[in-house]
């Protein structure tokens, strides 16, 4: 059984409005993500600090359990609220999230009980919002990091067993690396429109 959590709690400062609701070819951005991951999940959740704006999606909504704790607080909420042991966490502003990559990440956790998280690595760095986590071991590590004042999304990784999902692992599923393209600026949004065309 597999939980998929969409993170939609950011402030969208650079975009200037709630990114999740930006219309991308006639549909809110978050719907593109939702449609992609829906078939993969046995449980689908959204973490948002504006739940009233996302009620129309018909998905279970949760607000941050540690308000003001940033993106790491969002991960803590995702892992706390998810029902199943394996949890994929993706961002609401990644319209090309790749289900085949998530399936391959999940398969690694299933086949190797010593792994705690499978996280893609790109030329730009780690991708914690296209990763799959083992709830039992990751949740206490994230909680400990938060209680010690950490806010960086990857600050807790030294305390768990991480399998980096290298380009050689994910390129067969995503030759152009589009899965990890997220929309932070109006320019990013325009590029997404071009990619969809």
Ordered domains of the chain (ranges, CATH) = 2-196 (3.90.550.10)
Phi/psi class of residue 70: alpha, beta or left (left: φ > 0; alpha: ψ in -120 to 50)?
left
The predicted model scores a pTM of 0.93
Strands 60-62 and 27-28: what pairing?
unpaired
CA neighbor of 59 nearest in space, from 2, 18, 4: 4
Helix ranges (DSSP H) in 22-69: 29-37
For the CA atoms of the chain, what is the radius of gyration?
Answer: 16
Give the model confidence (pLDDT) of 129-183 as tens digits.
999 999 999 999 999 999 999 999 999 999 999 999 999 999 999 998 899 998 8
CA neighbor of 77 nearest in space, from 86, 65, 69: 65
Distances (CA, A) of 33 to 40, 146, 147: 12, 27, 31
Give the model confidence (pLDDT) of 8-40 as tens digits.
976 555 555 678 998 888 899 999 999 999 999
Lowest mean pLDDT segment, chosen from 10-14, 56-60, 78-82, 161-165 = 10-14
Question: 22 in helix, strand or coil?
Answer: coil
């Amino acid at each position: 059984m597999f939980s998929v959590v969409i993170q939609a709690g950011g402030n969208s400062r650079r975009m200037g409005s709630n990114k999740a609701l930006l219309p991308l070819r006639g549909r809110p951005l978050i719907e593109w993500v939702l449609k992609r991951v829906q078939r993969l999940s046995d449980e689908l959740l959204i973490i948002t600090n504006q739940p009233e704006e996302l009620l129309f999606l018909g998905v279970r909504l949760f607000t941050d359990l540690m308000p003001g704790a940033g993106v790491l607080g969002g991960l803590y909420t995702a892992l706390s609220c998810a029902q199943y042991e394996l949890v994929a966490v993706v961002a609401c502003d990644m319209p090309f999230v790749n289900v085949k990559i998530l399936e391959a990440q999940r398969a690694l956790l299933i086949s190797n009980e010593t792994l705690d998280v499978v996280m893609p690595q790109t030329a730009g760095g780690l991708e914690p919002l296209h990763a799959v986590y083992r709830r039992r071991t990751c949740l206490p590590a994230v909680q400990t990091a938060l209680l010690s004042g950490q806010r960086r999304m990857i600050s807790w990784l030294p305390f768990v067993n991480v399998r980096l999902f290298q380009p050689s692992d994910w390129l067969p599923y995503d030759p152009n690396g589009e899965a990890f393209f997220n929309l932070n600026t109006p320019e990013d949004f325009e590029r997404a429109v071009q990619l969809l065309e």
